[in-house]
Every structure is written in C-alpha cells, then in structure tokens.
C-alpha cells in the first residue's frame, strides 16, 4: 500500500514537474499591434517627432560648400544617411530626387520618340531648325505642337527620374485565427532577410490593415533596379531556411498579391523614422493614359499637402495592377487625420489639385494601417 502511494505520489510529482517545464519553456507570443493601441493623447508627441525628423532630414540634404582643386569652390548636396533605429535602415532612401541630366535628357527622348507617332529622326534646317510651311507643319507639326510634345517627353522623363530604385508592394490576406502566428513568423524572417547585405534589399515598412480589408498585411520593399530585384529573389530563395518559412507561410494566408512599382520623382520614399500613430494607404486606379497628368497635378498639390500632412511616399505600378497609384500618409490618430485633411483646403493650390485629378480616377480605396514592431517606418 505504501509502495502504491509512493508510486502515485511520484507520478503526480512528475506530472506537476512536466507542466511546470512546459509553462516555463514556452515562449510568450507578443501581442499583435492593433488600432486599439493608438490613443488620442499622442498628438503632441507625434508633432514633436515629426518636427525633429523633418529638421534632421533637411540638415542632411542642405547644400555644403566644398573647395575645388582650382580653389574656386562649388556647392554639393550632402547625401549622407539618415539615422535609424533599425539595423537594416535603407540609408539611400534619404536621397533627394534627381532630375534627368540636361545633356542626356534630349538624346534619350529623341531616340525613344516618347509622345511621338514615329521614332525616326526628324530633318532639321541648317541651324537646327525644322522646315516651315504648310506641308512641313502637316508632317512635323506646328511649333507650338512640337513644344507641347517636348513638354510631354520631359514630364515622362521626370516621372521616371528615380529609376535606380524598384519597389514591391506585397499584400498578404491572413486567416483571422492565424494572425498571431503570421506576425511571429514574418516578424522573425523579414528583418533577418533585410539585414543580410547579400540579399540587396531594404524593407521600407510592414503594416496591418485595421480599417478596410482587415487582417491584410502590407509590406513595401526597395531594390536596386530590376537587377537587384532578381538578385534578391534568388538569394532569399536559396537561403537554407526559406523552404520551411515558405511552407509555414502558405498555411497562414489565403492569398498573396505583388506589384512592382516606381516612386514619383517629386516624392522620394521616406527614410526610416519612428513617429508613432497610424498610416493611411490610399490606392487609386486611373483611367489608362492619365499617369502623366496625375504626376503633373500632384507635383504641385504635394507642396500644399506637406504644409499640414506627413507623407511617406507615392508610387505608380509598372508590373501588376497597372494604372494604379499608391500614396502613403502618417497621422497621430484618426481625429488628427480629419483635422489635417480639412486644413488642406485652406492651403493655396490644393483645391485645384483635387479639381484636376478627380476626373482621372476610375476607383479609389483607403486603408488604415498599423505598423508592425519590426517596421523601419513606424
């Protein structure tokens, strides 16, 4: 009987010990960020961080006088990296937009024949002037028409001015009961991949949709041209841990959509920053052929918007959901978003931007996003 009691006591102790080990060795999964984490008392903190971020960015891009070999001196823009709290900081995101060089814009445009019906070279007069007359005007267009054609070419070149970067936007629709597992899986994998130099990729940010298509996660990556995109995919796919990650990911999501984009030259993607609050991703599907008009009007409109709102970036899709434009904004909270959007109407030029761009839109969508803990832009 005593032996039986000792046996039961031993089994009971073993069971308790087993439970204790399981409890103490199981990692506690961190809480997935949500809109409920954003409070209405963070406006002052957001504004202070925004002011500091803008001042620091302006200081990094301020022209610096450097003496030349001749001693005359010259001005160069400082393209130093912007401080970041992330180890995989895309330092090149802080570069100012670059316009096409004057000596190369012309020949490239003539060679491609952008905006023309023909790419053939046009005959010119002895001093570089095109022939005149009714027949010549019919064949080569009027002087005013040619000037407009050149403006179209120049505008198109400006849209593609920051062509050394390619961005991808990835949408993952996650199963509602798998959100926490997804956050844990991706939260370990994405920063790891972005921190490896051989992958040649930088993570701009990761967010969870809270208003809109809920439980859809949005990720934006930056590559060095399309060569960098190919190299990155190849490097990551050949990582020894990729098969396990990919297999697990497929059990957590219901769909995946990827588009390749390019940023507008007048709106370079923000470098890493930690302002807090929430984000709004506004996606526009334009009528085909209206991208240049959109770029022209928003180039002016952004100046008005920047006075009252904090932009993250703007991109147009080149492969994937064509004729689509994405704008990403950041706010302290939803009430502050409402107030700042209302203030925009008091800034000169914004009303005209809306008037000119609304007819260009087929459909539009707004998503409220919450940044993930590993997101460089948050």
CA 273 to chain centre: 13
Q: Are 220 and 204 in contact (CB under 8 A)?
A: yes
The pLDDT value given to residue 150: 59
- pLDDT tens digits for range 170-224: 999 999 999 999 999 999 999 999 999 999 999 999 999 999 999 999 999 999 9
CB atoms within 10 A of CB 217: 20
- pLDDT tens digits for range 29-58: 566 776 567 766 777 777 788 778 778 877
Number of residues that make up the chain: 378
Say whether pLDDT at 356 is over 90: yes
Highest CATH level, class, for 165-371: alpha beta
- Residue with more model confidence, 371 or 135: 371
- Residue with more model confidence, 142 or 114: 142
Please, what is the end-to-end C-alpha distance for the chain in angstroms? Answer: 66
Q: Are 347 and 308 in contact (CB under 8 A)?
A: yes
Average pLDDT over residues 138-155: 53
| Token code pair at residue 200 | 């040649």
CA–CA separation, 174 vs 199, rounded Å?
Answer: 26
- pLDDT tens digits for range 306-323: 888 889 999 999 999 999
CA–CA separation, 302 vs 309, rounded Å?
Answer: 9
- pLDDT tens digits for range 198-207: 999 999 999 9
- Tell me the average pLDDT of the chain: 75
CA–CA separation, 270 vs 50, rounded Å?
Answer: 12
> Degrees (nearest 5) of the Cα angle 362, 267, 203?
95
**Where in the chain are all domains bearing CATH 3.30.70.100?**
165-371
Q: Are 305 and 288 in contact (CB under 8 A)?
A: no
DSSP letter at 351 equals H
CA–CA separation, 265 vs 157, rounded Å?
Answer: 9
- pLDDT tens digits for range 93-124: 333 333 333 333 333 333 322 222 223 333 44
């Amino acid at each position: 009987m005593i032996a039986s009691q000792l046996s039961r006591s031993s089994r009971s102790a073993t069971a308790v010990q087993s439970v204790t080990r399981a409890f103490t060795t199981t990692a506690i999964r961190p809480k997935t960020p949500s809109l409920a984490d954003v409070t209405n008392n963070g406006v002052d903190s957001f504004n202070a961080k925004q002011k500091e971020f803008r001042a620091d960015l302006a200081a990094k891009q301020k022209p610096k006088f450097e003496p030349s070999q001749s001693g005359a001196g010259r001005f160069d823009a400082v393209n130093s990296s912007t401080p970041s709290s992330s180890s995989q900081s895309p330092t090149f995101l802080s570069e100012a937009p670059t316009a096409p060089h004057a000596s190369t814009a012309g020949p490239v445009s003539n060679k491609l024949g952008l905006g023309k019906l023909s790419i053939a070279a046009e005959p010119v007069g002895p001093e570089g002037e095109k022939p005149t007359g009714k027949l010549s005007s019919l064949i080569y267009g009027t002087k005013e028409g040619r000037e407009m054609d050149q403006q179209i070419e120049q505008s198109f070149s400006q849209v593609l001015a920051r062509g050394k970067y390619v961005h991808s936007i990835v949408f993952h629709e996650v199963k509602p009961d798998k959100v926490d597992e997804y956050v844990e899986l991706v939260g370990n994998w994405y920063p790891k991949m972005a921190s490896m130099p051989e992958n040649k990729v930088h993570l701009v940010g990761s967010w969870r949709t809270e208003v809109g298509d809920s439980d859809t996660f949005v990720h934006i990556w930056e590559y060095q041209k399309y060569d960098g995109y190919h190299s990155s995919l190849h490097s990551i796919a050949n990582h020894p841990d990729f098969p396990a990650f990919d297999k697990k990911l497929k059990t957590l999501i219901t769909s995946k959509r990827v588009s390749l984009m390019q940023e507008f030259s007048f709106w370079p993607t923000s470098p890493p920053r930690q302002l807090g609050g929430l984000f709004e991703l506004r996606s526009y599907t334009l009528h085909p052929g209206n991208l240049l008009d959109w770029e022209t009007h928003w180039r002016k409109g952004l100046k008005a918007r920047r006075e009252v709102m904090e932009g993250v970036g703007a991109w147009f899709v080149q492969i994937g959901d064509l004729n689509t434009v994405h704008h990403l904004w950041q706010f302290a909270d939803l009430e502050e978003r409402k107030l700042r959007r209302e203030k925009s109407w008091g800034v000169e030029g914004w009303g005209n931007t809306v008037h000119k761009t609304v007819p260009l839109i087929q459909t539009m969508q707004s998503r409220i996003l919450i940044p993930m803990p590993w997101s460089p832009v948050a």
